[in-house]
A and B are shown apart, each in its own frame.
Chain A
Amino acid sequence: GAGVSQTPSNKVTEKGKYVELRCDPISGHTALYWYRQSLGQGPEFLIYFQGTGAADDSGLPNDRFFAVRPEGSVSTLKIQRTERGDSAVYLCASSAGLNTGELFFGEGSRLTVL
Chain B
Amino acid sequence: QQQVKQSPQSLIVQKGGISIINCAYENTAFDYFPWYQQFPGKGPALLIAIRPDVSEKKEGRFTISFNKSAKQFSLHIMDSQPGDSATYFCAAVNSGGSNYKLTFGKGTLLTVNP
Interface residues in chain A, defined as those with a beta carbon under 8 Å from any beta carbon in chain B: 4, 31, 33, 35, 40-45, 48, 50, 55-56, 59, 91, 93, 95, 98-108
Asked if B114 is at the interface (CB within 8 A of a chain A CB), the reply is no
Interface residues in chain B, defined as those with a beta carbon under 8 Å from any beta carbon in chain A: 4, 6, 32, 34, 36, 41-46, 49, 89, 91, 95, 98-107
Whether the pair A106, B43 counts as a contact (CB closer than 8 A) is yes
- 8 A-B Cβ contacts within 8 A? A33-B101, A42-B89, A42-B91, A42-B105, A43-B102, A44-B104, A45-B101, A55-B99
Q: Contacts of A93 on B, CB cut-off 8 Å?
A: 43
Whether the pair A45, B44 counts as a contact (CB closer than 8 A) is no
Q: Contacts of B101 on A, CB cut-off 8 Å?
A: 33, 45, 48, 56, 59
Contact of B100 among A91, A95, A105, A108 (CB under 8 A): A95
Expressed in whole angstroms, the Cα–Cα distance for A44 and B6 within the complex equals 15
Whether the pair A56, B107 counts as a contact (CB closer than 8 A) is no
Nearest chain A CB to B33 CB, angstrom units: 11
Q: Contacts of A98 on B, CB cut-off 8 Å?
A: 95, 99-100
Q: Contacts of B46 on A, CB cut-off 8 Å?
A: 101-103
Whether the pair A105, B107 counts as a contact (CB closer than 8 A) is no
Whether the pair B98, A55 counts as a contact (CB closer than 8 A) is yes
Whether the pair A45, B43 counts as a contact (CB closer than 8 A) is no
Interface centre among B6, B32, B44, B103 (most CB of A within 10 A): B44
Across the two chains, which residue of chain B brings its CB closest to A50? Answer: B99
